[in-house]
Structure 1
């Protein structure tokens, strides 16, 4: 008699990218968000802020603090963040729920101002940022995690242009991680169940 596999068993059997690990928060992020094309400006700003905060740290550190960031940074509202003053910076530096790094906090404020300027110029940040991949996701075909690059010609170009516009913590490596997160590139391994599930 054949015993039917439970949904839980099937979940465990799914082949995922190696970096997803075993922590549920990381698995959920891998399965539900990473690589899914994002076109909502506020969501794009959220990832830009979080990727900047992650510089020099592991992404799971930021994921675990994401809800704290959401509360501390007014739900990633660039209009509010652009108006933060010294008192607000001091409040954030005292907030144990986020990365208490003055340069990163100041960068978030500068990036909010630059983000609003881009929105004004292009009509939306989405229209501006997606031009670096020609408006549609680039689907790569990596077999091993070690084959996935840390940068690309597109992330180089994005980094140069963002810096020119006054953005901080936007080196090419951060830009490439941002592109992976918001689905500008699909870097799921070819044997990962999400590789073909994600619609462009």
Structure 2
């Protein structure tokens, strides 16, 4: 039997996924962005990069640093980040406005390079969306929301095969939720059904 938490009605009378209540930054992200499709290479590279940096941290930490990440990584322009050199890595490792983790910084640069190389095969956006699963029933509680799926495992393996790093199955599942490949807004949440 499920022991998770169902959608929560906030002080504003609106039902949301439990993580989207409380902190105003989480609430705004939940209500205006999470689960909505993004468009373009830079938007997909940004989400992939931020999900990789989030690994082991709270998502709120990443959201609070997102503007700094955008500045540090040139708006997630793949060509610019792909050209980063050792000096850029040192600059990033000295930037207190982002998460300073050498493996994640190196992965972000490797992923930008892999994104550029992927353009000949249709591009990052089309590649990620080719792993979109069939829609599933609305999860009733947080206990019904998986952390991985067969599709996220397949996406992870496929990305690693073409040079991406720090793209494990759980990280890729979080990416799939964030950009609307799967709709994990809970039953009763006012955003359920927003994924395209």
TM-score by length of 2: 0.91
**1:21 offset after TM fit, Å?**
2.6
- Mapped to 1, the partners of 2:82 and 2:51 lie a distance apart of 18
User: Paired residue for 2:101?
Assistant: 101
Report the alpha carbon displacement of residue 11 of structure 1 after superposing the two structures with TM: 7.4
Question: Quick check: 1:166 aligned with 2:163?
Answer: yes
In structure 2, what is the Cα distance between the partners aligned to 1:189 and 1:167? Answer: 31
Provide TM-score, normalisation by structure 1. 0.89
Q: Distance in 2 between matches of 1:133 and 1:145?
A: 21
Alignment of 1:70-89 (within 5 A): 70-89=70-89
Task: For residue 185 of structure 1, give the secondary structure of its aligned residue in structure 2.
Answer: coil
2:4 aligned residue: none
Residues 169 and 140 of structure 1: CA distance in aligned 2, closer, same or farther (over 3 Å): farther
Structure-2 separation of matches of 1:58 and 1:149: 17
Considering only CA atoms, is the larger Rg found in Structure 1 or Structure 2?
1
In structure 2, distance between residues paired with 1:177 and 1:11: 27
Cα RMSD after superposing both structures: 1.5
**Aligned equivalent of 2:191, options 190, 194, 197:** 194
Per-residue CA deviation, residues 83-135 of structure 1 (Å, 9 max, x unaligned), is: 1011111111110000011111010000001111112222x32211111116x
Query: How far 1:12 moved relative to its partner?
Result: 1.1
Aligned pairs for 1:25-104 within 5 A:
25-104=25-104
Unaligned runs of 5+ in 2: 1-9
Extract unaligned runs of 5+ from structure 1.
Answer: 1-9
Aligned residue pairs total 187
